[in-house]
Amino acid sequence: MSPRVPTALNPGDVLQRVNRDVERSILRARNGIRYVRGTNRPALGATPKDVVWKSGKAELWRYKGGDRRYGPPVVIIHSLVSRSYILDLRPGNSTVEYLTGAGLDVFMLDWGVPDELDADNDLERYVDWYLPRALAEVRRVSGHDEVTLVGYCLGGVLAALYAAGHEEARVRNLILMATPMDFNEMGAMVALLREGRLNPEEMIDETGNVPADALYSGFYMLAPTSEVAQKAMLLENLWNDEFVEGFQAMATWSRDHVPFPGAAFRQLVELLVRQNILMTGAIPLGGRQVVLANVRGNVLNAMAERDNVVPPPAVEPVMELVGDPTRREELRLPGGHVTFGTGRSAFKHTMPKLTAWIIDHSDPSP
């Protein structure tokens, strides 16, 4: 009887492994050169869309997709600090694409990149000026009286204030994704401003806005060494085109912040951060009190369990403050502030659950 060759040393397996490693090395070299040269960048925000309304830097996009089988239309209100393509990162990994694919009529209100012209944009400008006009256009082009509003991060605050402060809002569903309510729970992101170590004026530059670099630094300092592990993961997976494309897309987005309009920033710091006013359930806006409990319609509070930008304790009070208590629901999802809206985890958890909730609270289109 001949001695058995251990499995690990089986010549066939060894040869296969060597072949695989050689192939991967070639692919690593090719992708490495492309990565360093900055070529083969993935297409970001690529879902086809039409601009249906525009005012200043703000644009309202309506996404093209398959059949629009459900109404009312879904309108995504993006945050003021980042680029909206995070929700339409790349084909196959896009919340927008998922929603349109499910038969929903999806709109996105994108705020553009603010400059000197937008320095005076305050919360009233967004809540009482842009939103009513953009949503009137949504109603006009979609033919629906009602809307489903989806607010992401600070966009959720704007959406909630609009839904609460406008009688004509006709918001059937209000979905708040990672929307901060309790700014005392926001941790390191706002600690410098809350405790008065820095004043808003010290962060506002000559354009009248908070520069994008300052916002990037704030996010970067939450986990300053994590880039090392991310780069190591990239090196290991450099042979994998899909991984490299996803990595490049996320890396591009995470550095692509936009300036924060100065007037809105001053209000944010004074009212939301220092006075933590949302926790009182009302906020003075445009000479009136906007009471969050006045939101009519269903409220879904979606939060990410490992969110270190807007941690769950900052989001949870939505369940006690916004809308009618009998029409509030909570959705806890795995992932962090960004990864619960994009990436594999989002595709597996957030997108199906969010889509199912919206469809459950919509009507089939005639």
Partner 1 sequence: MPANQPLWLRAVIRVERTIGQPIEAAVRSDTYFDLVSTTTRVQRKVAGTAEGVSRRCLHLLNLPAGSDIRGLRQQLARMERRLNELSHDVAELDGNEPPSGVT
- Look at residue 176 and give its three-state secondary structure: strand
Q: Which two tokens stand for residue 215?
A: 């916002």
Q: Residues 126 to 165: which contact partner 1 by CB under 8 A?
A: 128-129, 132-133, 136, 165
Please pick, from the candidates 6, 168, 326, 360, the single residue that binds partner 1 as defined by CB under 8 A: 168
Residues 6 or more apart from 22 whose CB is under 8 A from it? Answer: none
- Whether 244 and 235 have beta carbons less than 8 Å apart is answered as no
| CA distance to 7, 10, 11, 23, 28, per residue, from 16 (Å) | 13, 10, 8, 11, 18
The C-alpha atoms of residue 177 and residue 186 are separated, in whole angstroms, by: 15
* Residue 22 contacts partner 1 per CB under 8 A: no
* Residue 45 contacts partner 1 per CB under 8 A: no
* Residue 226 contacts partner 1 per CB under 8 A: yes
Residues 6 or more apart from 364 whose CB is under 8 A from it? Answer: 69, 70
Residues 6 or more apart from 349 whose CB is under 8 A from it? Answer: 333, 334, 335, 340
Question: How many CA atoms does the CB half-sphere of 5 hold within 13 Å?
Answer: 8
* Residue 288 contacts partner 1 per CB under 8 A: yes
Q: Which two tokens stand for residue 17?
A: 């492994």
Q: Residues 304 to 333: which contact partner 1 by CB under 8 A?
A: none
* Residue 360 contacts partner 1 per CB under 8 A: no
- Whether 62 and 50 have beta carbons less than 8 Å apart is answered as yes
* Residue 228 contacts partner 1 per CB under 8 A: yes
Using the rule CB under 8 A, give the single segment among 81-89, 99-107, 223-231, 336-344 that binds partner 1: 223-231
* Residue 286 contacts partner 1 per CB under 8 A: yes
Please pick, from the candidates 32, 112, 187, 312, the single residue that binds partner 1 as defined by CB under 8 A: 187
* Residue 27 contacts partner 1 per CB under 8 A: no
Task: Give min distance, CB of 164 to partner 1, in A.
Answer: 9
* Residue 10 contacts partner 1 per CB under 8 A: no
Residues 6 or more apart from 276 whose CB is under 8 A from it? Answer: 182, 183, 184
* Residue 274 contacts partner 1 per CB under 8 A: no
Q: List the one residue out of 125, 185, 204, 189 whose CA is nearest residue 318.
A: 185
Give the count of residues interacting with partner 1 (CB under 8 A): 41
Please pick, from the candidates 46, 192, 277, 331, the single residue that binds partner 1 as defined by CB under 8 A: 192
Instruction: Select 213 or 329, whichever has its Cβ closest to partner 1.
Output: 213
Task: Give min distance, CB of 166 to partner 1, in A.
Answer: 6
**Residues at the site binding partner 1, with contacts judged by CB under 8 A:** 55-56, 115-117, 119-120, 128-129, 132-133, 136, 165-168, 187-188, 191-192, 195, 197-198, 202-203, 206, 208, 221-226, 228-229, 232-233, 236, 286, 288, 294
